Structure 1
């Protein structure tokens, strides 16, 4: 008798291709290639940011809806907004402001887009991101476009931070906020973006990170979202700074509500986590499915009983009606549909057995 696992080479090859395709699809559905993406493991992604949060003992959570701010206890929570692609509407910004005023911390990191500054204004913060690139031709990593900001203030958020390494970052205008880190005095704002210092551009030490109180909470502004990507977290000062931001937090929310869309599979999982109704429906369906599978009679469980009867299913003259009659005799409690299902299974096995012989 031919086993269902006795596959020839073409069938094995097809099965292998199917498995590989499913695995590739699963990886594609659960990862991202978007810059700053929380599920992008490449150099420009921010997958490592979640790992830093976990290492610091915090619960890492990707947020795709600002309603999550209402459901999260502000005290002991840190939210990170990286270069938002879209502006927050008044209701969304109000949720985040309430979160901050009640004791939460919000980190806004942006460089050349205006959405970060718009959010800062809505939050009631004073600091603003300049929006022009910073360069430093004396203190840099790889090129002057990667300034090493080595003027570090004494603050709990800068403990063990020797410097912050930027990646095409921008200056931050404190406007009364506490300056955490500044560039060296050899840096300049490249207003015309020609990568040269011109007569109207001045060498000066510029702030790149600030902190300020808003209500009972705090807003931290960083002039470079790239400081948080995987490649830049390899720089010791950057990782220490992020570790300090997350160090006292119970919950870290990575706010992607106005940035790249999360991968499809992750989006489904997040939706399930947020919805108690979906959890109940899926849980009930799973229990019912397992129960049905456990109780559903298989052809293999029926055949030994039939083989012991006076009716031989191996007879070449035995018809489907004969087999059905034998099944009914052994299991009078079964309905016609189940008898037909088992009969068809027996006929199929007889066919394969005769062909193998």
Structure 2
């Protein structure tokens, strides 16, 4: 028994179903993934999807945060919030929430290489460290390029367990301003002030801090001068992954703060909205049950939807004997009736098979 006879549908319907499946799958993939840099749903080299997996790998509960109101409901103790290169400033009410979160025992990790919006956040929560926004280079201790300097000077802080060095990607120094330095560059690193890729006479060589930690109230603030350290490709570089696991491993919850960053795909946003709204969960669930019940009670509805692609059982004109005869005679007027009939019978026999 062929596929057509088994399901009682014709080839047009099968083609329609196949095209529909391909289209739906494509739309779902497009709506559930992102190409934005540092995006939590971006699986490419510049995405940060690996961070969610590392939170789970360390036994912590990972969560995407779209609104700073989440800080008011989560327990600060045992929670670390990660902010990667925010695209806009945090407003007064938002910074109040983050400041309260930190002062009540939460950990805030801010990673930035420009400092345009991050420094304002650091100031608002009461942290002293600042990202300078300068480009750090190292001609001796680097990975493939001077713009990917390696920071080999690591403190003995508990957050740096199993970390011997960090690898940056177009990172920036961090001005501690009294904060504890967790990691710093080599003694031959320099700030490329004019960004020409070369060490000029006016540019000094020396160790530069790239990561700091400081206490703020009952909590603490970590500052890293490079958000790219946390992207998928850079987590594979020397001890970057160990640093992430060390920070995540001492916390019970990891909040990935995307309240001021793009890159969340629409389907993921929709799922997050439903997750955060119990009443909406009830409504969506009720609608789903209702649709299933409707098709179960009236199965003819599904059949009529499929049949809109075209009648499955009505043969085309060319498939009828008289239609075939006219078609064959039109294509081969020089054939006699016996030959035409023999060809038609052969075609009909193949169709029956």
Instruction: Give the drift of 1:248.
Output: 1.6
| Structure 1 spans left out of the alignment, 5+ residues | 300-340, 345-350
Q: Distance in 2 between matches of 1:354 and 1:232?
A: 61
- The Cα offsets for residues 240-298 of structure 1, whole Å up to 9 and x where unpaired, read as 0000110021111111110114100000000011112111222233344444444x254
Match of 2:172 among 170, 173, 195: 170
Instruction: Give the drift of 1:118.
Output: 0.7
Distance 1:21 1:353, change over 3 A: closer
Instruction: Give the drift of 1:20.
Output: 1.0
User: Counterpart of 1:26?
Assistant: 28
Work out whether 1:50 is the aligned partner of 2:79: no
Instruction: Give the drift of 1:59.
Output: 1.1
Q: Distance in 1 between matches of 2:137 and 2:203?
A: 11
- The Cα offsets for residues 130-160 of structure 1, whole Å up to 9 and x where unpaired, read as 1010000000001000000000110111111
User: Counterpart of 1:95?
Assistant: 97
Q: Which runs of 4+ in 1 moved over 6 A?
A: 351-357
Match of 1:183 among 168, 180, 185: 185
User: Counterpart of 1:112?
Assistant: 114
Instruction: Give the drift of 1:355.
Output: 7.0
Instruction: Describe how 1:201-216 pairs up with structure 2 within 5 A.
Output: 201-216=203-218
Aligned residues: 308
User: Counterpart of 1:76?
Assistant: 78
Q: Distance in 1 between matches of 2:72 and 2:5?
A: 57
Instruction: Give the drift of 1:21.
Output: 1.3
Instruction: Give the drift of 1:162.
Output: 1.3
Q: Distance in 1 between matches of 2:313 and 2:85?
A: 65
SS in 1 for 2:173: strand
TM-score by length of 2: 0.82
Match of 1:64 among 63, 66, 73: 66
Instruction: Give the drift of 1:188.
Output: 0.5
TM-score by length of 1: 0.81
- The Cα offsets for residues 179-205 of structure 1, whole Å up to 9 and x where unpaired, read as 000000010111111111122211101
Instruction: Describe how 1:1-357 pairs up with structure 2 within 5 A.
Output: 5-294=7-296, 296-298=297-299
Q: Distance in 2 between matches of 1:84 and 1:176?
A: 24
Q: Distance in 1 between matches of 2:150 and 2:263?
A: 31
Instruction: Give the drift of 1:3.
Output: 5.5
Q: Distance in 1 between matches of 2:139 and 2:294?
A: 70
SS in 2 for 1:170: coil
Distance 1:230 1:298, change over 3 A: closer
- The Cα offsets for residues 299-354 of structure 1, whole Å up to 9 and x where unpaired, read as 6xxxxxxxxxxxxxxxxxxxxxxxxxxxxxxxxxxxxxxxxx9xx9xxxxxx9778
- The Cα offsets for residues 66-88 of structure 1, whole Å up to 9 and x where unpaired, read as 11111111011110000000000
Q: Distance in 1 between matches of 2:167 and 2:129?
A: 20
Q: Distance in 1 between matches of 2:6 and 2:31?
A: 31
SS in 2 for 1:132: coil
Q: Distance in 2 between matches of 1:353 and 1:258?
A: 57
- The Cα offsets for residues 108-149 of structure 1, whole Å up to 9 and x where unpaired, read as 000014101110000100000010100000000010000000
Q: What is the aligned-residue RMSD (CA, Å)?
A: 2.3
- The Cα offsets for residues 195-218 of structure 1, whole Å up to 9 and x where unpaired, read as 111222111010000000011111
SS in 2 for 1:144: strand
SS in 2 for 1:131: coil
SS in 1 for 2:7: coil
